[in-house]
Amino acid sequence: MSQISYKDAGVDIDAGNSFVENIKPLVKSTKIPGVLGGIGSFAGAFELPTGYKEPVILAATDGVGTKLKLAIDSGIHNTVGIDLVAMCVNDLICNNGTPSFFLDYYATGKLEVDVATAVVSGIAEGCIQAECALIGGETAEMPGMYSADDYDLAGFAVGVAEKSELDTVSNVRAGDKLIALPSSGLHSNGFSLARKVLFDTMNLNFDEVFEGKALIDTLLTPTRIYVKTYKALKPNIQAMAHITGGGLIENLPRVLPDNLRAVITKSSIRTLPIFDLISKHVAEDEMYRAFNMGVGMVLVVRPDDVNAVLAGSDGYLIGEIEAGAKEAVLV
């Protein structure tokens, strides 16, 4: 009787071991003070930082969405890991959480070591940009669940905040100013709509020259990570809103009290060419609900702090806080 191995069933343990060896130097490159040990144990360890009166642990998780489909179809795998880290750590800092460490989950139908290594190289780069450590993860080879070339990603970021600083909503006042930090592009939201417009409706291709480079390069531009800007400007920031799915309209109200609204001057928003292209086939209201429209993060600051924030960042004014029902409006 013939014997069937795990590899015959579609799971290659040797490939998994090879992958772990490949990523060890990548993981090591993200090491920061607080990391205890290396990868290979059953859990990653991180020492709680000192200097907090009442430290609170914050956690955020996210994925990359259908942007992964473009990475898989184009064979460009070394940037979506940055997106993965960005979507998590950019959420943490909105609650005054300083990112400490990151874990990833990589699931695929067949483990291609080079592809997985490229993905983790992006994750490591994202962690370096976010000044946090990659301390562990999971690689799952699941034939029958995914097609051979497909993979999926999930990320988990953990940080620490001062308990007294968690409630940013109560900081916001009428008269506060809204400062936009530019996005690097679509970031990691709205790709189902973008793909339908660009490739199904407009019949464009990956190599189409757009703004001086291949369209696929524009689409796969990694999500910007705002951690260093946050750290530099924290004393001048009252609240922050990460502009992800739902756009400005749905994300800004998350940092507002019930009696205040965010009024945004639409003409002040510095949209990017990729949004102008997509908008040829999408109504304006839908554009502002699906995409960040060139604004990756919004800072709420006191009028007296505006000049300091503008001088310390590439941000620009887009509006202010007024009395009214809790909402964000474009005027």
Over the stretch 58-85, which tens digit does the pLDDT of each residue have? 999 999 999 999 999 999 999 999 999 9
Q: Do 318 and 251 share a domain, yes or no?
A: yes
Q: Do 57 and 193 share a domain, yes or no?
A: no
Residue 245 lies in a domain: yes
Of 165, 188, 217, which residue constitutes the final position of a domain?
A: 165
Nearest C-alpha neighbor of 11 from the set 201, 178, 141, 150: 141
| pLDDT over 70 percentage in the chain | 99
pLDDT digit string (tens) for 11-33?
A: 778 888 888 888 899 989 999 99
Please report, as a single letter, which amino acid is at residue 219. Answer: L
How many separate domains does the chain show?
Answer: 2
Range of the structural domain that residue 205 is part of:
169-330
pTM (2 d.p.): 0.96
**Looking at the predicted structure, is the pLDDT value of residue 40 above 90?**
no
pLDDT digit string (tens) for 93-120?
A: 999 999 999 999 999 999 999 999 999 9
Q: If you average pLDDT over residues 210-236, what whole number do you get?
A: 97
Report the C-alpha dihedral over residues 183, 184, 189, 195, rounded to 10 degrees: 140
Average pLDDT in the chain = 95
Q: Do 144 and 26 share a domain, yes or no?
A: yes
Residue 128 lies in a domain: yes
**Looking at the predicted structure, is the pLDDT value of residue 1 above 70?**
no
Length of the chain: 331
Q: Do 191 and 157 share a domain, yes or no?
A: no
Of 165, 191, 214, which residue constitutes the final position of a domain?
A: 165
Residue 15's pLDDT is what?
Answer: 86
Q: Do 141 and 181 share a domain, yes or no?
A: no
Q: If you average pLDDT over residues 40-51, what whole number do you get?
A: 89
Rounded alpha-carbon distances, angstroms, from residue 330 to 174, 265, 278, 319: 17, 6, 20, 9
